[in-house]
Structure formats: structure tokens, C-alpha cells
Amino acid sequence: MNTISCPSCGAPVTFRSAASVMAVCGYCSSTLIKDAESVRNVGRMSEVLEDFSPLQIDASGTVDGRGFTIVGRIQLRYAAGFWNEWYVLDDHGDGAWLSDGSGQYTFTRRVEPSALHGVALPPFEGLAPGTPLDLGRVPNGGPLRFIAGDVRSAQCTGGQGELPFVVGAGYAARVADFRRGGDFVTLDYSDETGAAGGSAAPVSPVLYRGRSLTLDELHPQLLRDPATIADAAGRIKGKVANLECPSCGASIAFSPGATSHLLCPACHASLDVAGPVAEVLSAAKRIDAVRTTVALGATATIAAVTYTVIGLMRRAEVGEDASAWTEYLLYAPQKGFTWLVETDQGWERSQVLDAWPDWVAANQAVLDGETYSLLYDYRSVVQYAAGAFNWRVEVGDTNRITEFERGSVKLAAESDAAELTWSRSTPATAADLAAWFGTQVDAAALPSGPPSLSGPPTGGYRRIAKWLTILLLAVNAIPILFAPGRALIIVILATIGLYFPAWLMDLAADRKGT
């Protein structure tokens, strides 16, 4: 450990690791570079946005039997949001990284090239969500295969504490994250020696490997408490209950630090609240508000934890006979984010997975030793969004959704051009919702029977009629072939008998929904 005086303000600055080459003064934010002979001040580092993260410098924990202490932090921002990379030192003085984004955590260590045993790493330009990465073979088995989850270019927007390499204005990061169950790999294509200086030469990626962890599994100590997070998070300081939309003046419920983007329910302006003031990113034309069963700001007590509904989205399937559903984003300072999904068939509670399923075939996925079968594969589009989100949401955003089911439990893989995520959903009954929300939910709007009987099926009754017609044609293929006249008339009349009632029931359901 080496403590020096900041050349700018004289405050003590500590280098706890001999491998650290940079530190940010905690008093004046000066960036100090350490070399063999001296410590130089190279200017001020931008302050980090104090977000909803419970982590902080000097917090500690345990992973794989080794204690660690957080000594530094960089904050990286991309087009739709930002995340934190915390630099830690363990009991042996070795460095590692604790990544923290949207309530998910990964702990990784650098892997030396010699440990790859000649495995060739792919170029950044050829990567996309879903791209496989083979890192050798499993003992007595097949390839050690990871799947790309995130492929992003980001900018460092701030830093704190002690770091093993130099970052500053213009530092660009190009990273790709891969998962295999709970195992995690990052390929960092940022030129550690040249990125800050604008080097354009291609570099071999640095590989970091570790695993996904929950906050509890880190056995953390000295975390920020919920009151401190709420009071300090965001540059809009204080316990802000409502924010005035700079576009139309409407009041928007806002949890400071929990989110970086807001969508005004009145004018649908997109607001960035990660800066010194709420900045209007885009003001869309006024659209009709969507009536929802649960309102923004409603609170739910789930497993003794109080969650607040901070955002909601109306999404729909792309294509004919498209179904639509509503997703509610809930947030609790001590637990992070969870989702409630309202469809015509009932309600589900959904949680983003840290440990990914093994997508063993096009129609099967395996999680925790249980096999899930393909249910649906479709594209979705955001029709409406309002409230606060931990990433930038816009009307018109599309992605691909592949759903699998095992009994009443569903898995869903959602992907776009930059990200692939997995989530698991379980049914929620009317009794569950009433217990969670109390009188904040209109009991008459909740399903009164089993999910399959509580409303029209996904895609509407016409979708069922279409598949019954296909089955009817298949069963009557031979009679139509050898006696086309009579058999074809019967099939046509049966098709009309299927489609007309289905159309009437879908029309009635549409009118009820509006």
C-alpha cells in the first residue's frame, strides 16, 4: 500500500496495489497516473452518476472463499443505458472485476493468453447476440461453448478510486459478454494501452472469465443502505417523488437512481435523467394513453418486499392476428427489478435469469436439468411505454421472442441487434394480485377463472380457427383428391362455420378491451 498527496489539492490518495497505475482523488477528482518514478496529475475525471447500485468504494465481500474489497470504479455508457465496472482486490492482492448492471452481477478475472492453449478468439466485427464461442472442450465431452449475450460499444463517462489501467476522456470500450449457464466470459476489445489515445490498430481481445452471482451470493458488507441510495442517486438530488416534464409540464413519478430514462405518460417525450437536468431526448406526437389494470406508482408487497410499479409497456406480436400484452416493471431498492406480465390468458411474474438455459436444439431448452419444449417463436413491437426504465425504451422497438414451456413455467429468449436475455415466468392468480396490491387493483379487472378461460387465447380465436382449418384440410386431403366436388364444399362450409364465430368473438373482445 502506498499513500501519496494529491498534487492538486493535497488530499491523501492511496494505491493499494502495486499493479494499479491510476487513481482518482476522492476530493478534487484529479486523475493521477503512477509510473516508476512519480505520480502525475493529468486532469479531472468526470464524476460518476450515483445510480441505484448498493455497491461503493471500500465495500467488501467473498467469492469462492476469497475475500475482496472494492477499490475502483468506471462507469460505461452506451446508446440505451449504462453499467458499472468495479475493480476489486482480493486477499491475495490479485485484481478482479465486479460488473453491475440493472441489478445483475458478474465476477470475473483476467485469463492469460497462455491459458487459452491456442484457442483463436473472434474479431469484434463478426460478433452478434447468439454467436457461439468455443473455449476448448469439456473433459470427456463436447465443446466448452458459450453464447454471446451482449455485444456493445460504450464510452467511459466517469471513474473513481484505483484502477489497473488508464482511462480518461475519449476512452472507448468494445466488449462482448458470453454465458454458459451461470459461467460468464467477457472479451474486451478495448486497446488498454491505446484506447485513450485513439489507437486505431486492431488488438487481440483480453479475456475475462468468471460467473454470475446474486448480491446475496457476494456476501457483501459496507453496502449503501436504501435511504442513502434514494437520497444520493442521480444528479437530480434528493427524494424526488415527481418530476415535471420539460416538454409538456406533466408530472412524472420518478425513483432517483433506479432508472436513467423516463417516458412521459402525457406527451410521450423521452427524457434522459442521467445528466444534471432532465433532458428531452425526443418528443413524440401525443398519443392516446393506454388504460392499464395496474397504475404507475402502485406498490406491491411480494415476499415481504415492497415493490413500486415504475414503468409499463404495451407490446404486440408482429403479423396477422397479432396478440398484445402489458408488461409492468417493478423495483425495490433491496431486491432490484422484477416484471408482471398481463395477457388475455392471465398474469405471470417474470424474472431475468442470471444462469442461462442450454438451448440444446431449435425446439428444446434445458434449465436446472429440466427440459422445456418450444411454444412460440415470433417478433414483438413496443406500441406504448410510460414511466421509468433502466434502459432506453421507444415506441417501435422490436425484438425476437422464443418461448419454451414445461407445465405452467415458461422460459423466454429475447434478442435484438445488441443483446440476448433469458427470463423465467410463473403464473400469477387473481388472489396473488389482490394480496400483492390490495385495493390498488380493480378486482373486476382481474381474471375470475383459470388463465385459459379468462379471456381470448393468444392471437385471438381466429388463430385457433386457422389451425383447425389446416387440420381439417389435412384430414380430408384424400376425399378432396378423389371426390373434389362434395368434399370441397363440406370443407368450405366447415371453414365458414369456424371463422365466423371466431371473428364475432374477437370483435367482442376488442370492443371490451377499448
Do 296 and 386 touch, CB atoms closer than 8 A? yes
Among 461, 128, 485, 473, residue whose Cα is nearest residue 321:
461
Helices (H) and strands (E) in the chain, counts: 5, 31
Is 465 or 332 the better-scoring residue by pLDDT? Answer: 332
pLDDT digits (tens, 9 = 90+) for 268-300: 666 665 544 444 334 343 444 567 888 888 899
pLDDT digits (tens, 9 = 90+) for 408-455: 999 999 999 999 999 999 999 988 999 999 988 876 666 654 444 344
Cα–Cα distance between 471 and 48 in angstroms, integer?
Answer: 60
Cα–Cα distance between 365 and 404 in angstroms, integer?
Answer: 7
- pLDDT at position 382 is 92
The region of weakest confidence among 75-79, 217-221, 410-414 is 75-79
What average pLDDT does the segment 495-505 reach?
Answer: 79
Q: What does the block give as the cell for 347?
A: 398474469
What average pLDDT does the segment 30-35 reach?
Answer: 60
- pLDDT at position 421 is 95
- pLDDT at position 7 is 67
Q: Which of 242-251, 262-271, 428-437 has the highest mean pLDDT?
A: 428-437
What average pLDDT does the segment 47-56 reach?
Answer: 73
Amino acid, single-letter form, for residue 416: D
Give the phi and the psi of residue 439 in degrees, each rounded to 5: -80, 0
The pLDDT of residue 180 is above 90: yes
Spell out the alpha helix ranges (H) of 5-108: none
- Predicted TM-score (pTM) of the model is 0.71
Among 463, 442, 444, residue whose Cα is nearest residue 505:
463
- pLDDT at position 106 is 96
The average confidence (pLDDT) of the chain is 78
What is the residue extent of each domain of the chain? 46-218, 290-453, 461-513
The region of weakest confidence among 125-134, 275-284, 341-350 is 275-284
Cβ neighbourhood burial of 242 (10 Å; 0-12, 13-18, 19+)? exposed
Q: Length of the chain, please?
A: 514
Is 238 or 371 the better-scoring residue by pLDDT? Answer: 371
The region of weakest confidence among 226-235, 268-277, 347-356, 458-467 is 268-277
- pLDDT at position 288 is 47
pLDDT digits (tens, 9 = 90+) for 310-328: 888 999 999 877 789 999 9
pLDDT digits (tens, 9 = 90+) for 355-411: 999 998 889 999 999 999 999 999 999 998 888 787 788 888 999 999 999 999 999
- pLDDT at position 322 is 79
